[in-house]
């Protein structure tokens, strides 16, 4: 069995297009960079992922409520949040390729290459020493590994210092001193580093004199902060409590590559948890544990996740980490968990002149709550699921198959109904079963092509079960049900199918593990 993990993104991109998961946007006009559309199976998978997140937040926690705030917000929102002044990326151009890069990403990629060399060294030793291998000890003593660790540490510290102090010349000097070349032209002919704001803007209002500059939100979180008191007043929630939201966000990203990993229009699933000051670190730890467990339950492999604690904290945070996933292009941020202090509420209170404090009746005290945020990109989660479940397999009969080992409860189609052929009474019986199942499960009916080809097609979109109706079914009211992963088949009575599918594909299987 071979997994895409070690291979490249290209296979995922072409599989996504061929099987109706993700299409490039506006393709007939040559596409729009970093914008994508979701196809028939993509939208089902996306909806299932949203449902998993939403239910795990809002339905399983009596102290978390959902909202759906608008994309457009008063521009003062972004003044107060710091996005107008500080939501910038440091950019650098290569004069030969005419390509533009994020300076920090060029340096991070360089660090990634050293990290790879370190891993290679460890892998070599692992092979050599087999069971006797002690990775920790090896890393502490191998001169080569120590050299790599030291190098990584030094560059990371410099990078963080320059980013924090907005030292653009420092970033350029670091790129030059590390000998970083343009991946396209191969040259070191770099321009100076400049800052670039990532927010999209447009005008609101119909008359020229009456037009206001307005931004497309770069994160959904601010809609939660601005509704903080509305939610408290309408729901009588007491601290600690959370507000969750799923919605679109927009960023004019510079490096518009890596498929749906970095998009200009994307979807976030964010939850702000309001707590009393000084209790935030305890809640930060708690949410770190809860969120990593949520990911592990998806069963894509625990070793594909790791935490990355931030040294270079954003202006609003007093602690922050990423949950990274091992994507086809390496470990990258999938979700951010941030302790945002009272930065946002305080800033909005100041700029709006409206009181945003919470009144603690028990202690007869008003204060601004502190906030722990969990923020995950739905599209990145989608890519994690797709790349984590893409499998190419050689079968015993010498043939190959590609299948998506998507966790059953979030698979786009749960069951396919396949009459052995399209004649006699088989399609009638199959349609009867299809009608019996479609109300409860996303079900597909298919009578075209050979049964083998139809199985392969369902494998390629990750359908957990295929039900085949043959001549015997007409006599016995029993059908064959085939499992996607094991390819094992068993006979099952038609009146038992619903229960069988419910037991194997319900979202409750995942939610129960969180409860």
Contact between 304 and ligand ATP (CB under 6 A)? Answer: no
Which tokens sit at 491?
Answer: 């006979």
In whole angstroms, the minimum distance from the beta carbon of 377 to ligand ATP comes to 3
Closest CB to ligand ATP among residues 16, 458: 16
* Total residues at interface with ligand ATP (CB under 6 A): 16
Maximum distance among all alpha carbons in the chain? 80
* φ and ψ of 222, to 5 deg: -65, -30
In whole angstroms, the minimum distance from the beta carbon of 466 to ligand ATP comes to 33
Strands of 400-404's sheet in order across: 2-3, 390-394, 400-404
Closest CB to ligand ATP among residues 42, 377: 377
Instruction: Check if the beta carbon of residue 352 is closer than 8 Å to that of residue 12.
Output: no
Question: Across the strands, what pairs with 400?
Answer: 394
Contact between 102 and ligand ATP (CB under 6 A)? Answer: no
Contact between 377 and ligand ATP (CB under 6 A)? Answer: yes
In whole angstroms, the minimum distance from the beta carbon of 253 to ligand ATP comes to 5
DSSP label of 496: G
Contact between 96 and ligand ATP (CB under 6 A)? Answer: no
In whole angstroms, the minimum distance from the beta carbon of 210 to ligand ATP comes to 32
Closest CB to ligand ATP among residues 338, 457: 338
Residues from 250 through 269 that contact ligand ATP (CB under 6 A): 251, 253, 262-263, 266, 268
- Could you give the CA distance from residue 474 to residue 152 in angstroms, rounded to a whole number? 67
Closest CB to ligand ATP among residues 182, 219: 219
Q: Which of 44, 280, 342, 379 binds ligand ATP (CB under 6 A)?
A: 379
Residues from 132 through 191 that contact ligand ATP (CB under 6 A): none
Contact between 90 and ligand ATP (CB under 6 A)? Answer: no
Contact between 336 and ligand ATP (CB under 6 A)? Answer: yes
| Binding segment toward ligand ATP, per CB under 6 A, in 118-126, 136-144, 344-352, 377-385 | 377-385
Contact between 375 and ligand ATP (CB under 6 A)? Answer: yes
Cα–chain-centroid distance for residue 336? 10
CB contact burial 223-236 (16+ within 10 A = b; e otherwise): bbbbbbeebbeeee
Distances (CA, A) of 351 to 82, 204, 220, 357: 12, 21, 19, 14
In whole angstroms, the minimum distance from the beta carbon of 383 to ligand ATP comes to 9
**Of residues 490, 439, 435, the one with CA closest to residue 465:** 490
Burial of residue 393 (number of CB atoms within 10 Å: 0-12, 13-18, 19+) = middle
**Which residue's C-beta sits nearest to ligand ATP?**
377
Contact between 502 and ligand ATP (CB under 6 A)? Answer: no
List Cβ neighbours of 116 (8 Å cut-off, separation of 6 or more): none
Which tokens sit at 476?
Answer: 């016995």
Is the C-alpha dihedral spanning 259, 264, 266, 271 positive or negative?
Answer: positive
In whole angstroms, the minimum distance from the beta carbon of 280 to ligand ATP comes to 18
Contact between 335 and ligand ATP (CB under 6 A)? Answer: yes
Provide the strand spans (E) within 239-356.
241-250, 265-275, 305-309, 319-327, 330-341
Instruction: Check if the beta carbon of residue 505 is closer than 8 Å to that of residue 406.
Output: no
Instruction: Check if the beta carbon of residue 226 is closer than 8 Å to that of residue 73.
Output: yes
In whole angstroms, the minimum distance from the beta carbon of 376 to ligand ATP comes to 5
Length of the chain: 515
Closest CB to ligand ATP among residues 139, 199: 199
Residues 268-297 vs ligand ATP: string with x where CB under 6 A?
A: x-----------------------------
CB contact burial 94-113 (16+ within 10 A = b; e otherwise): beeeeebbbbbbbbeebbee
In whole angstroms, the minimum distance from the beta carbon of 211 to ligand ATP comes to 28
In whole angstroms, the minimum distance from the beta carbon of 436 to ligand ATP comes to 39
Contact between 333 and ligand ATP (CB under 6 A)? Answer: yes
In whole angstroms, the minimum distance from the beta carbon of 264 to ligand ATP comes to 7
Closest CB to ligand ATP among residues 334, 420: 334
Q: Which of 58, 122, 297, 334 binds ligand ATP (CB under 6 A)?
A: 334
Task: State the pairing for strand pair 305-309/319-327.
Answer: antiparallel
Which tokens sit at 465?
Answer: 């079960």
By CB under 6 A, name the binding residues for ligand ATP.
219, 251, 253, 262-263, 266, 268, 333-336, 375-377, 379-380
């Amino acid at each position: 069995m071979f997994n895409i993990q070690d291979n490249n993104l290209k296979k995922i991109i072409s599989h996504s297009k061929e099987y109706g998961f993700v299409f490039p946007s506006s393709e007939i006009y040559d596409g729009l960079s970093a914008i994508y559309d979701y196809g028939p199976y993509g939208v089902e998978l996306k909806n299932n992922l949203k449902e998993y997140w939403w239910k795990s937040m809002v339905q399983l926690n009596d102290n978390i409520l959902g909202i759906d705030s608008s994309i457009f917000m008063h521009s003062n929102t972004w003044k107060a949040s710091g996005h107008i002044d500080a939501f910038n990326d440091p950019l650098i151009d290569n004069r030969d390729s005419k390509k533009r890069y994020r300076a920090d990403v060029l340096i991070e990629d360089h660090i990634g290459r050293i990290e790879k060399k370190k891993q290679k060294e460890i892998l070599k030793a692992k092979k050599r020493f087999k069971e006797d291998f002690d990775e920790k000890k090896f890393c502490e003593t191998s001169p080569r590994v120590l050299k790599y660790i030291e190098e990584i540490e030094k560059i990371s510290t410099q990078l963080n210092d320059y980013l924090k102090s907005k030292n653009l010349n420092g970033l350029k000097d670091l790129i030059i001193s590390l000998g970083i070349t343009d991946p396209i032209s191969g040259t070191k002919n770099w321009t100076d580093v400049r800052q670039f704001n990532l927010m999209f803007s447009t005008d609101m209002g119909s008359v020229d004199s009456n037009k206001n500059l307005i931004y497309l939100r770069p994160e959904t979180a601010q809609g939660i902060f601005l509704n903080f008191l509305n939610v408290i007043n309408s729901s009588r929630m007491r601290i600690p409590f959370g507000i969750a939201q799923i919605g679109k966000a927009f960023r004019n990203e510079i490096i518009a590559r890596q498929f749906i990993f970095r998009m200009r229009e994307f979807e976030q699933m964010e939850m702000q948890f309001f707590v009393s000051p000084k209790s935030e670190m305890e809640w930060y730890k708690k949410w770190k544990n809860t969120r990593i467990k949520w990911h592990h339950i998806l069963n894509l492999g625990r070793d594909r996740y790791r935490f990355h604690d931030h040294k270079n904290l954003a202006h609003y945070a007093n602690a922050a980490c990423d949950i990274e996933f091992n994507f086809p292009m390496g470990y990258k941020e999938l979700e951010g968990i941030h302790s945002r202090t009272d930065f946002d509420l305080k800033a909005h209170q100041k700029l709006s002149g409206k009181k945003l404090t919470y009144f603690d009746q028990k202690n007869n005290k008003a204060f601004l709550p502190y906030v722990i945020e969990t923020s995950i990109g739905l599209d990145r989660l989608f890519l994690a699921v797709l790349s984590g479940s893409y499998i190419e397999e050689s079968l015993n009969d010498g043939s190959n198959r590609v299948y998506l080992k998507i966790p059953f409860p979030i698979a786009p189609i749960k069951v396919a109904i396949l009459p052995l052929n399209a004649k006699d009474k088989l399609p009638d019986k199959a349609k009867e079963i299809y009608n019996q199942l479609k109300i409860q499960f996303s079900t597909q009916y298919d009578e075209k092509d050979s049964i083998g080809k139809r199985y392969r097609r369902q494998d390629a979109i990750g359908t957990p079960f295929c039900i085949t109706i043959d001549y015997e079914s007409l006599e016995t009211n029993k059908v064959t049900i085939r499992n996607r992963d094991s390819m094992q088949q068993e006979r099952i009575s038609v009146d038992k199918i619903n229960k069988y599918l419910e037991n194997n594909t319900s979202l409750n299987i995942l939610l129960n593990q969180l409860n």
